[in-house]
């Protein structure tokens, strides 16, 4: 980790975060605090998200650049367009939130050992779901949950956390349907947090953190008007 002399902030019980431009080169901003709904929501509204392993302190990140997906720029392949028109999958929202989080935590992923979705993180997002902030977008094949994603809905920005597939293209189906819905609702973007080839193939792109923060602030203003 190259911190370039940056001093990492250790959070106290006080509900605040340092400015995001104080983050290290790889995006680490602060350590500690808690996973209360209020703190997590403050983090997202401030351009920050938690990400850590079981055996570490709570770590808070704000990378630069930021991976985002503009809803109107989602890439839909011919095969996916065909799948969207078929009756094979059904989309549901928030009918099995906890199961979606558990699936994201336990699904096997290439080049990844274990999961950052710890029991504490799972409990935190279940609480956010109960409060109406966290949502799951679920892909069902008859009565079987075969894919989906979950994240935090801030009113004009959807902060994606994780997604999973138990059958080919299920997570793509969820993300495409989410983007179509958010486009209709005039959302600014889907926050994908960090770069991945998979997300890039679906139309996600990296933007400077200051641009992400500008869009987030516009979101916050819009949210207060609703």
> What pLDDT, in 10s, does the model give residues 18-45?
999 999 999 999 999 999 999 999 999 9
pLDDT, position 55 = 63
**pLDDT bucket at 157, cuts 50 / 70 / 90:** very high
Considering only CA atoms, which of 124, 92, 88 is closest in space to residue 105? 124
CB within 8 Å of 182: residues ≥ 6 apart:
71, 158, 190
- Work out whether the CA dihedral 67, 69, 73, 74 comes out positive or negative: positive
Inter-residue contact 166 to 107 (CB < 8 Å): yes
Q: What is the pLDDT of residues 163-219, one digit of tens each?
A: 999 999 999 999 999 999 999 999 999 999 999 999 999 999 999 999 999 999 885
Q: What is each CA distance from 27 to 49, 115, 140, 218, in whole angstroms?
A: 10, 19, 36, 22
Cα atoms in the Cβ-side hemisphere of radius 13 Å centred on 181? 15
- Is the confidence at residue 4, as pLDDT, over 60? no
Residue 225 has what pLDDT?
34
103-115 core/surface letters (b: 16 or more CB in 10 A; e: else):
bbbebeeeeeeeb
Q: 179: which residues sit within 8 A by CB, 6+ positions away?
A: 69, 71, 74, 190
C-alpha–C-alpha distance, residues 204 and 195, integer Å: 8
Query: Does the pLDDT value for residue 7 go beyond 80?
Result: no
Weakest-pLDDT range from 46-60, 99-113, 141-155: 99-113
Confidence check: pLDDT of 226 > 90: no
Surface-to-core class of residue 60, CB atoms within 10 Å of its CB (0-12 exposed, 13-18 middle, 19+ buried): buried
pTM (2 d.p.): 0.90
Mean pLDDT, residues 35-59: 93
Distance CA 70, CA 105 (A): 26
Look up residue 117 and give its two tokens: 């979705």
CB 29, CB 22: distance < 8 Å: yes
Task: Enter the DSSP assignment of 132.
Answer: T
Q: Is 6's pLDDT higher than 80?
A: no
Paired with 60 in beta bridges are: 30, 50
- pLDDT for 76-132, tens place per residue? 999 999 999 998 999 999 999 999 999 999 986 555 554 689 999 999 999 999 999
């Amino acid at each position: 980790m190259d911190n370039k002399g940056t001093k990492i902030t250790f959070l106290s019980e006080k509900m605040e975060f340092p400015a995001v431009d104080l983050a290290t080169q790889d995006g680490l901003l602060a350590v500690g605090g808690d996973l209360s709904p209020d703190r997590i929501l403050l983090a997202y509204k401030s351009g920050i998200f938690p990400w850590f392993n079981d055996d570490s302190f709570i770590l808070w990140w704000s990378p630069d650049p930021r991976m985002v997906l503009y809803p109107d720029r989602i890439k839909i392949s011919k095969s996916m367009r065909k799948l969207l028109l078929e009756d094979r999958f059904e989309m549901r929202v928030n009918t099995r939130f906890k199961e979606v989080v558990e699936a994201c935590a336990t699904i096997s992923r290439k080049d990844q050992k274990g999961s950052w979705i710890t029991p504490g993180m799972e409990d935190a997002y279940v609480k956010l779901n109960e409060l109406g902030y966290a949502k799951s977008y679920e892909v069902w094949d008859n009565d079987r949950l075969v894919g989906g994603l979950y994240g935090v809905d801030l009113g004009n920005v959807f902060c994606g956390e994780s997604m999973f597939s138990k059958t080919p293209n299920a997570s793509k189906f969820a993300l495409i349907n989410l983007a179509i819905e958010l486009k209709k609702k005039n959302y600014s973007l889907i926050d994908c947090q960090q770069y991945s080839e998979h997300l890039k193939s679906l139309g996600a792109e990296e933007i400077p953190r200051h641009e992400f923060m500008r869009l987030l602030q516009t979101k916050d203003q819009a949210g207060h008007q609703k």
